[in-house]
Structure 1
Amino acid sequence: MKVISKNLYLPILTLLLLVISGCGPTKNTSEDLVSDSVDAKATITAKHPEMAELFATSKGYAIFPNVGKGAYIVGGASGNGTVYENGRMVGYADLKQVDIGLQIGGKAFIEVLFFQTQTALDDFKDGSYQLSGNVSAVILEEGASKDVEFNNGIAVVTMPKAGAMAGVSVGGQRFEFFPTN
């Protein structure tokens, strides 16, 4: 029984180390991050024109252009992004996620949080913010459009970039906000 436990824990610990050290984007300058965010917004609106209205009508949004996720039973994701209020950049944010379940693989994706109300945006900008595991994201896929629903003033939209991942997991995301001034 000890051999099975050792054989299970070693891959999990190795994966967690890799996820923590390398799953997020490389250390870019703030200009690179802003450029990547602008490109991600353009990609989303070009492939899914219905998203342009959300960008225009939301009180604000946070774009994470390069989120990386890896998993082998225990998974983790990380990414950096930019935060906008009324179309003007007001800061940066970090995304961290840990989840557990029947899952394996790795992927890269774009994630956008849309804030329907000023209160939801202000709560996010207060510093440390969490999305529980029961908040579902709309996954934008090629050739398919989906309606975006807000939950407590926030809607989450993701768009795959690369990778393959299979499984079902439960977890949540944590965000840190850093104002530009």
Structure 2
Amino acid sequence: MRYETKNSLRPILASLMVAGAALAFTGCTTTPHTANQETAAEQREVIRNGYDRALSRLYAAAPESRELVQKAKGVLIFPSVIGASFIVGGEYGKGELRVNGQHAGYYSTGGGSIGFQGGAQSRATILLFMTQQALDDFRNSQGWTLGVDAKVAVADIGANGRIDTNTAKEPVIGFVLNNVGLAAGISLQGDRIQKIDL
């Protein structure tokens, strides 16, 4: 009889554990989301200002990146990609594409991840389209997934701040900035990018 009671409690305990995990996940991902409360003009202004700040931070962290940006056919920057996870998580951000220094569209990015990463994190993602073909392929797509529709070489920065020469030859180069500076060992594979009206 005692054995049966123990077995009957297992489903209840399992349900309580799942509910606890869900509550923890909610707590980790609850951050003020003001995008829905801002007007489209305000959102565009935030993105434009964030774009310029992200470029300045990139140049400070890796001076050689300035030359790559100047050579790029297009530069897409997501100034603030917010990610939060507890076991299973996701991320989302809005950004701007500029071609020859001129506005060429707004985009959203989203991705998912699995792992014990707990807590909310923010990063800036910068993508440089180094060839016209890479830029055209991106702009003509209905939705672009990194690692599927195109390989993105996340820049490898040495201790001296120099960019790996092999990386600099790739058609699409990515940089990831966190609160400290350039982030190492970050994968952008699986992130999906879509054009949005803003």
TM-score when normalising by structure 2? 0.70
How many percent of aligned residue pairs carry the same amino acid?
25
Indicate conservation of the 8 Å contact 2:28/2:119, yes or no: no
Kindly report the root-mean-square deviation, in angstroms, between the aligned alpha carbons of the 2 structures: 3.6
Q: Does 1:101 align with 2:115?
A: yes
Q: Which residue identity does 2:94 align to in structure 1?
A: N
> Which moved further from structure 2: 2-11 or 37-46?
2-11
Shift of 1:46: 2.5
Aligned pair partner of 1:78 in 92, 99, 112? 92
TM-score when normalising by structure 1? 0.75
Residue number in structure 1 paired with 2:179: 161
CA distance in 2, matches of 1:92, 1:75: 24
Shift of 1:101: 2.8
Shift of 1:52: 0.3
Q: Does 1:130 align with 2:145?
A: yes
1:152/1:140 Cα in 2 relative to 1: closer, same or farther (>3 Å)?
closer
CA distance in 1, matches of 2:89, 2:72: 31
Aligned pair partner of 1:50 in 33, 41, 64? 64
Q: Which residue identity does 2:145 align to in structure 1?
A: Q
In the comparison of the two structures, how many residue pairs are matched? Answer: 174
Shift of 1:57: 0.4
Q: Does 1:11 align with 2:55?
A: no
Indicate conservation of the 8 Å contact 1:103/1:169, yes or no: no
Structure (1 or 2) with the greater helix fraction = 2
Indicate conservation of the 8 Å contact 2:145/2:193, yes or no: yes
Residue number in structure 2 paired with 1:175: 193
CA distance in 2, matches of 1:77, 1:106: 9
Shift of 1:9: 5.8
**Larger Rg belongs to:** 2
Structure (1 or 2) with the greater strand fraction = 1
CA distance in 2, matches of 1:131, 1:18: 26
Structure 2, gaps ≥5 residues long: 1-9, 181-185
1:38/1:15 Cα in 2 relative to 1: closer, same or farther (>3 Å)?
same
1:54/1:6 Cα in 2 relative to 1: closer, same or farther (>3 Å)?
farther
